[in-house]
Amino acid sequence: MSSFAPSAPEPSPGSTRPSGSGPYPGSALAPDRFLGPVIHRLRAAGCVFAEEEAELLVTSARSPAELAGMVDRRMAGHPLEHILGWAEFRGLRIAVDEGVFVPRRRTEHLVRLALDLVDPVDAVVVDLCCGSGAVAAAIAAAAPGAEVHAADLDPAAVRCTRRNLRGRRGRAHVGDLYDALPANLRGRVDVLIANAPYVPTDAIDLMPPEAREHEPRLALDGGPDGLSVLRRVLAGAPPWLAPGGHLLLETSAGQAPLLLDAVTLGGLTARVDVSADLGATVIVASLPRPG
């Protein structure tokens, strides 16, 4: 949603233009009075989308003092989403607490592909490494008949996910990948989604400060080549998938060929699906049906 220059390198989950801006009914502050000064301060700090971010901050603040504090934090490099307490994702307002991974626009492509494979009336969907639960919430909103499960190693992320799944047919679990899932899901998962960390360890220092300083490292660090967690996801997937089930993995364009080879060796059929508009790369793998 937000970005300070310079942008992140390609393998990292980078930031995007703010969404959801526009006048909010009931805003406590008069935009005509506060927008100009806030835009000026954000521009001076190097904020790429100063006008859009200023509008979001002004229309979200409940008092001039709160607005000043929000602007100070943004100028210090805090993610806009952590300051607002939410991120826009596929038309939903996703709660994002301090220290929780911020959902990226590119991951909307992952959701789009998953929904193409999900039976909206009768499907079991799992979102591993769920972070704030944006993917799980988007699936549950678009396919209300689906049974949705989300899991993450970070308890703070799971608390956030539970809020975002409230009122929907979804459950969130704490644990390391498949260890977090209920045993009765084995062999029943129709679509297994993983937006696991895929930034190579040495590339984390090249990411914008708002990511590397304010988001959990476990949500970013994919090991020496960025594929350590994704390989574990892939290795453990077959026993959980239903016959003909699908595994969707977000990765980078440069990492996709290596991951595709690993998927094929694991006995799944696979293809790479790219969204040029969102800068997204997804491996779509399938477990063959018996016979």
Q: Which domains does the chain have, with CATH numbers?
A: 1-84 (no CATH), 107-286 (3.40.50.150)
**Residue 164 one-letter amino acid:** N
Structure tokens given for 192: 């297994």
Each residue's pLDDT expressed in tens, for the chain with a length of 291 residues: 445 432 333 333 334 455 544 444 446 677 778 889 999 999 999 889 999 999 999 999 999 999 999 999 999 999 999 999 999 999 999 999 999 999 999 999 999 999 999 988 889 999 999 999 999 999 999 999 999 999 999 999 999 999 999 999 999 999 999 999 999 999 999 999 999 999 999 999 999 888 999 999 999 999 999 999 999 999 999 999 999 999 999 999 999 999 998 888 888 999 999 999 999 999 999 998 886
Helix (H, G, I), strand (E, B) or coil at 174: strand
pLDDT at position 108? 98
Q: Can you spell out the DSSP letters for 112-168?
A: HHHHHH--SSS-EEEEES-TTTHHHHHHHHH-TTSEEEEEES-HHHHHHHHHHHTTS
Residue 19, pLDDT score: 54
Our CA dihedral for 82, 84, 89, 95, rounded to 10 degrees, sits at: 70
Cα–Cα distances in angstroms (integers) from residue 56 to residues 20, 71, 97, 131, 163, in the given order: 8, 11, 17, 23, 22
Q: DSSP state, 275?
A: E
Judging by beta carbons within 10 Å of its beta carbon (0-12, 13-18, 19+), is residue 174 exposed, middle or buried?
A: middle
pTM above 0.85, yes or no: yes
